[in-house]
Amino acid sequence: MSIVITGATGHLGRHVVDQLLERVPAEQVTAVVRDAAKAADLAARGVRIAVADYDAPDTFDGVFAAGDKVLLISGNEIGGDRVGQHRVVIEAAKAAGVALLAYTSAPGRLKAALADDHRATEEVLLASGLPYVLLRNGWYHENYTERLDPVLAHSAVVAAAGEGRVSSASRADYAAAAVAVLTGEGHENRTYELGGDEAWSLAEYAAELSRQTGTRIGYHEVSDEVLTGILTDAGLPAAIATVLAGVDTSIARGELVVDSGDLSRLTGRPTSRLADAITAALRN
């Protein structure tokens, strides 16, 4: 029996594997990657490496075995055939007879186009008959702390989120929830709505940046059309810019507030604070 992580060298996947290795022997962990070279450090730690590609179904032959627990980390190609990619993994897992497949989805109340692929994947997973867990991850701190350069350069947070609030948490927090599910019992056919313990607004985010940098950083609210234009002018494809602006519209509507408490209950500790994530980002 193995615990299998797809997308294991991605941002979230690496957190999951690192935390798994604190809980189980390395030989019980399989990292599914597209490029073995990027997983050389994991192989050196004793993790089994399986090379497979969501876009090449035959590469998943033999990756899974009966009794495995699988974490399907959603693909990150917005605008691509993510549902088809996810279906490849689900069908391979079903054929192998895995014991559990957990999927990193999106909050149930999120209506933005970004959630469409997640909802469709959930339907595929439920229809498969596999024992499942839906890990409906909320927004990540890193969505904001990894894009500080333009904010600091212009002393402005520009968004179309209004006064909406975000229940974000760190990738490490969401990884800890996945590890709890993969190494625990009694999670079959459960849905977890995951988000940080403290919700915050973009104005509060700007204020925290101001406090920590000593520079006045304001929150400038714009329409979703204007934000789409700003993002395309910055080089993003129009389709992706529209999707991201749509997330801000959802924030304004309160769709990224997650108050279930599921994340802290699964991990057994409070979620990390945005202020601490900002501190770490500024230090780096």
pTM for this structure? 0.96
Task: Specify whether the CB–CB gap between 86 and 7 falls below 8 A.
Answer: no
Torsion over CA of 201, 205, 210 and 215, rounded to 10 degrees?
-100
Q: What is the pLDDT of residues 142-199, one digit of tens each?
A: 999 998 999 999 999 999 999 999 999 999 999 999 999 999 999 999 999 999 999 9
Q: What is the DSSP string of the chain?
A: --EEEETTTSHHHHHHHHHHTTTS-GGGEEEEES-GGGGHHHHHTT-EEEE-BTTBGGGGTTT--TT-EEEEPPP--TTS-HHHHHHHHHHHHHHHT-SEEEEEE--TT--SGGGHHHHHHHHHHHHHT--EEEEEE--BTHHHHTTHHHHHHHTEEEES-TT-EE--B-HHHHHHHHHHHHHSSS-TTEEEEE--SS-EEHHHHHHHHHHHHSS--EEEE--HHHHHHHHHHTT--HHHHHHHHHHHHHHHTTTT---S-HHHHHHTSPPPPHHHHHHHHHH-
Q: What is the pLDDT of residues 16-47, one digit of tens each?
A: 999 999 999 999 999 999 999 999 999 999 99
Structural domains of the chain, ranges and CATH numbers in brackets:
3-138+169-197+258-272 (3.40.50.720)
Residue 141, number of CB atoms within 10 A of its CB:
25
Is the predicted pLDDT of residue 79 greater than 70, yes or no?
no
Q: What is the pLDDT of residue 284?
A: 84
Q: What is the pLDDT of residue 75?
A: 85
Percentage of the chain lying above the pLDDT 70 cut: 99
Is the predicted pLDDT of residue 126 greater than 90, yes or no?
yes
Q: What is the pLDDT of residues 195-234, one digit of tens each?
A: 999 999 999 999 999 999 999 999 999 999 999 998 899 8
Q: What is the pLDDT of residue 60?
A: 96
